[in-house]
Structure 1
Amino acid sequence: MASLLADAAISQKIASEPWPEDVCLYQPYKLQQVLLPDNAQCLAVQCYLQMCGLPFRTVLRTNAEHMSPSGKPPFLRAGPYVISEVEPIIKFVSTKGHSLSDKLDKPQQAEMKAYLALVQGTLGNAELYISWCDPTTASEISRPRYSSPYPWPLNTVLAYRKQWDVQNQLKALGWCSKSLEEVYDEVDNCCKALSQRLGNHHYFFKQGPTELDALVFGHLYTILTTPLTDNCLADIVKEYGNLINFCRHIEKKFFEERERGPKE
């Protein structure tokens, strides 16, 4: 009971404070270091904050993963608060009074949460699998990029430890025993479900963009634009024209137009 009261008091305190002016989103360097799974998460958070219309600054750090409270990028520093990973960041933003899903009714919110779990549980795990369980991708891309900020022999030790940790995580989820073809089938089924839910609309719900749109964009756009040892993963997404159009629309509206700023 005391813990619940303390949590409620903290939430009330956070809600009463305005959005800080110096909010920073920390993530690894995109060109030299970041890998497919982390880039998808970072882009999803960027997109979500853009959709909420909240000001923030992206800060690149080679040790962003080790700076993160959970050991996973990205993480948000907002005044005295430091929050890492997509779901906790979304909850923090919602506590501050900025929510994209409060316009949905309860059945729609339940449906959105189911799709969020599908995307994270399928696309997120598939990205981890391809990055760290596929021998070719791990040796040619993941280990070299992950270890790039560190001197030898620390770089080698950290890269193999990361690979071991991810493989254990996927083993616990039942993904490590899958073949690459089975992983591609999982991705295809996920894309098919998303494509059917989206239809010919700009967003997954007619009320406007939600957390689901930000998360799906983060994953799909990253898959489409990240060089890998082959194009199989991106080719799956390209089979769904409405998902491609969805990514183009989100990129234009929440990134290109925001960067250009308002017309004078």
Structure 2
Amino acid sequence: MATSMELRCWGGDWGLPSVHAESLVVLAYCKFSGANVTVSPIDWTWRTLTVTTPELVCGDSTVTEPADILNFLRKQRFNADYELTARQGADTMAYVALVEEKLRPALLHTFWVDAENYANLTRPWFASRSPFPLNFLVPSRHANNALCRILLSKVESPLYSITEVEGKLYSDAKECLNLLSHRLGGDHYFFGNSPSSLDAFVFGFMAPLHKAALPSCPLQSHLRQLANLTGFIDNILAVYFSGSQPGSPVPVQETVDANLQKLTQLVNKESNLIEKMDDNLRSSPQLKPRRPEPKPCLANEGSSTPA
């Protein structure tokens, strides 16, 4: 009997199943690979204050960090990269490293360090989902952790403050988005007709940036100028997170525009209904044969003519 798996992650908002980038990565990969997991949004209590999210619990095993969770799912035979070639596997690692190095720090700054975004969006969201006094502690703690992470990863001599690294931060992030847009091109996914772990990582990190109502974000404006990337996000949300058939991905036709996926599904249903009605009419006994042609009458007249 298969062991049940529970995924503990941040809750959703803004039209997303989770507002947390790393949680979105794992949620998307579970959908892509067909892994049946029970999603449990974490509650901000004293017990879960120091919890690492996302967190996958399977039997006696507890796995954290997206890369480790994806490797664990592959060992359980839930592998969205099964059909990738060696070259595509190498490209996956390279682009995931690019996202981690270039895009993640800018996202941390956008949501947790930018004063306007933090005061008007990030802090109120987390405060409203935390009991007193955690509604004061949780947001500030995450903001401090984000700032420390940015400074540790990005500060290089002669840059010593967050103000000095902001320009470099967003320049790298925009370059990363441009490279991803160029690699995706006009395709629905990065490798072929099926999504892989690279699609999960790119979706997870870009979806909050695309969907959040940020008061101040030049990086969001840049992303929305890259139509193929925003279409990529909207397509995955429509196909895998629409709620119509959870856990059962709907195949995407190459000729269908990603932004019209939902409408296309409705049209297909109507077309199938019309075809069934047409088949029923064709097989209906109400379709009587034609009247006999006059040829038999002429034959009878000829036979009655005197010799």
Taking structure 2 as the reference length, what is the TM-score of the superposition?
A: 0.68
Distance 1:103 1:51 in 2: 13
Residues 125-160 of structure 1: CA distance to partner in whole angstroms, max 9, x if unpaired?
Answer: 2111122221222333333333441313x5434433
Structure 1 counterpart of 2:10, from 6, 28, 35: 28
Structure 2 counterpart of 1:258, from 225, 245, 248: 245
Structure 2 counterpart of 1:169, from 143, 149, 167: 149
Question: Hey, what does 2:88 align to over in structure 1?
Answer: 108
Identity %: 24
Question: Hey, what does 2:73 align to over in structure 1?
Answer: 93
Equivalent residues, number: 241
Distance 1:83 1:72 in 2: 10
1:26 is paired with a residue whose SS is strand
Whether the aligned pair in 2 keeps the contact of 1:27 and 1:64 (CA below 8 Å) is: no
Matches within 5 A, 1:97-246: 97-148=77-128, 149-152=130-133, 154-174=134-154, 176=162, 178-206=164-192, 208-246=194-232
Unpaired runs of at least 5, structure 1: 1-17
Taking structure 1 as the reference length, what is the TM-score of the superposition?
A: 0.78
The structure-2 alpha-carbon separation of the partners of 1:31 and 1:206, relative to structure 1 and needing over 3 Å to count, comes to closer
Look up the equivalent residue of 2:212 and give its one-letter code: T
Question: Hey, what does 1:39 align to over in structure 2?
Answer: 20
Residue 181 of structure 1 deviates from its aligned partner by 4.3
Distance 1:210 1:105 in 2: 12
2:57 is paired with a residue whose SS is strand
Distance 2:144 2:95 in 1: 29
The structure-2 alpha-carbon separation of the partners of 1:155 and 1:64, relative to structure 1 and needing over 3 Å to count, comes to closer
Structure 2 counterpart of 1:48, from 21, 29, 52: 29
Distance 2:138 2:117 in 1: 17
Whether the aligned pair in 1 keeps the contact of 2:33 and 2:80 (CA below 8 Å) is: yes
Distance 2:202 2:150 in 1: 21
The structure-2 alpha-carbon separation of the partners of 1:260 and 1:156, relative to structure 1 and needing over 3 Å to count, comes to closer
2:154 is paired with a residue whose SS is coil
Whether the aligned pair in 1 keeps the contact of 2:210 and 2:230 (CA below 8 Å) is: no
Structure with the larger RCO, 1 or 2 (CA within 8 Å, 6+ apart)? 1
Look up the equivalent residue of 1:41 and give its one-letter code: E
The structure-2 alpha-carbon separation of the partners of 1:134 and 1:243, relative to structure 1 and needing over 3 Å to count, comes to same
Decide which structure has greater helix share.
1
Larger Rg computed on CA atoms: 2
Distance 1:64 1:23 in 2: 23
Select between 159-168 and 112-121 the one with higher mean Cα deviation: 159-168
Residues 86-111 of structure 1: CA distance to partner in whole angstroms, max 9, x if unpaired?
Answer: 11110100111222223222222111
CA RMSD of aligned residues (A): 3.0
Look up the equivalent residue of 2:59 and give its one-letter code: G
The structure-2 alpha-carbon separation of the partners of 1:168 and 1:204, relative to structure 1 and needing over 3 Å to count, comes to same
The structure-2 alpha-carbon separation of the partners of 1:60 and 1:234, relative to structure 1 and needing over 3 Å to count, comes to same
Residue 243 of structure 1 deviates from its aligned partner by 1.1
1:173 is paired with a residue whose SS is helix
Matched, 1:247 2:229: no
Distance 2:52 2:47 in 1: 8
Distance 2:60 2:45 in 1: 18
